[in-house]
Structure 1
Amino acid sequence: MISAGYCRLMSRYNTWQNTSLVTAADGLTNEDRWKDRGAFFQSIAATFNHLYWADALILERLKGNERPEETVKHSLTSPSDWVDFKALRFRRNEEVEEWSESLGDADLEGMLVWYPGDGFIRIEKPKALCAIQLFNHQTHHRGQIHAMLTAAGAEPEPTDVQMLT
C-alpha cells in the first residue's frame, strides 16, 4: 500500500508546511489568530491546536499505544500562548519525523488496535491506513489554516509537494 519512504517524505512535508503556516501566522496579532473565521474549529489558533493534538493521538496509535486518550488530552484552547504553541508544534514535527525515520516497510504491515474515547469500543485498522490518515488529516486541516491565513492577509508558502526541498 505505502512504504516507509512515503512516510519519511510526508513527514518532511509536514514539517515544511507547518513551518510555512506558523511563519505566516507570526505576522498576525494574537486576537487575529483567535478570531472566529467561520471554519469548523472557528479560528486559526484553534485549528492549529486541533492538528497538534490529533497528530499526538494518531502518532501514539501508530507507536502501538492502545489507549492514547488516557494520556493525550485534545484541546482547542491549549496551548493558548503563541510562543508556547510554536515550541510544541516544532517538537511534534520532530516526533513525526523521528517516527518515520525509524520505520521499515514491514512496520507498516498488520493491524493496529486502539480504544478511543470511553475505552469500550475496540477499533482495528491496517497500520498503513492509519499512517495515511496521519498525513491526510494534517493536509486537510493545514488547508483550512492556509485559507484562513490568506483571508487574513498573511502569505504562507505554496503547498505543492514537488516544491519540497
Structure 2
Amino acid sequence: MITVEYCRTMARYNAWQNRSMTDVMRSLKKAELTKDRGAFFGSIFATANHLLWGDQLWMSRFDGGIGPSVAPKDHLKLHDTLDAYLSDRMRTDARITRWAQGLTQVSLIGPLTWYSGVLEREVSKTKGLCIAGFFNHQTHHRGQIHAMLTAAGHRPGDTDLFIMPDGD
C-alpha cells in the first residue's frame, strides 16, 4: 500500500507545513488563536492541539514511545500557551522524521494492534492503512487551520506537495 519513500516524503511535508502554519500562529494574539471560528474543534489553537495530540498518539503506536501527556477528553487543551505548543510541535515533528528515516519496507508490513479509546475495544489494521491514515489526518486538520487563518486575514504558505523544498 505504501513505501518507505512515501513515509519519508510525508514526514518532510508534515514538518514543512507545520513550520509554515506555526510561523503565522506566532503573529496572532492569544484571543485570535483561541477565538471560536465555527470549525469542528472551534479555534485555530484547539485544532492545532488536537492535531498534535493525534500525532503523538499515533507515534506511540508506531514507535512504542510515549504518547500524549493528557487524556483523550483533554486533547483540545494539550497546551495552554503557544510557546509550549510550539516546542512540543517541533519535538514531535523531529520524532516523526526520525521514525520515518528508520523505516524499512519490511517494517511497513503486517498488522498494528492497539486499544482504541474511541471504539472502546482492541483494533487491528494493516500498518500501511494506519500510516496513510496518520498522514491524511495531519493534512485534513492543517487544511482546517489554513482555512481559519486565511479567513482571519492571514496568508499561510503554499500547501502543494510539489512546491516543498527538496532539502527540507
Is the partner of 1:76 in helix, strand or coil?
helix
| Other-structure match for 2:121 | 121
Aligned pairs for 1:4-153 (under 5 A) are 4-64=4-64, 73-74=71-72, 75-117=75-117, 121-153=121-153
Q: 1:152-163 maps to which residues of 2 (within 5 A)?
A: 152-163=152-163
Query: Displacement, 1:60?
Result: 1.3
Between 1:41-50 and 1:152-161, the stretch displaced more is 152-161
Matched residues, percent identical? 44
Supply the RMSD in Å over aligned alpha carbons.
1.9
Query: Shift of the alpha carbon at 1:62?
Result: 1.7
Name 2:3's counterpart in structure 1. 3
Residues 51 and 85 of structure 1: CA distance in aligned 2, closer, same or farther (over 3 Å): same
What is the CA–CA distance in structure 2 between the aligned matches of 1:42 and 1:26, rounded to whole Å?
19
Secondary structure of 2:148's counterpart equals helix
- Tell me, yes or no, if the aligned pair for 2:70 and 2:78 is still in contact at 8 Å: no
Task: Rate the CA distance shift 1:55–1:118 in 2: closer, same or farther, 3 A.
Answer: closer
- Could you list the runs of 4 or more consecutive aligned residues of structure 1 that deviate by over 4 angstroms after TM superposition? none
- The number of aligned residues is 163
Which blocks of at least 5 consecutive residues in structure 1 are unaligned?
none
TM-score after normalising by structure 2: 0.91
How far does the alpha carbon of each residue in 1:94-138 deviate from its partner, in whole angstroms, 9 at most, with x for none? Answer: 011011001001110000000121896110000011110110000
Return the offset for 1:68: 5.6
CA contact (8 A) 2:59 2:67 kept: no
Distance 1:64 1:48 in 2: 23
Question: TM-score by structure 1 length?
Answer: 0.93
Looking at structure 2, the residues matched to 117 and 68 of structure 1 have their Cα atoms a distance apart, in angstroms, of: 13
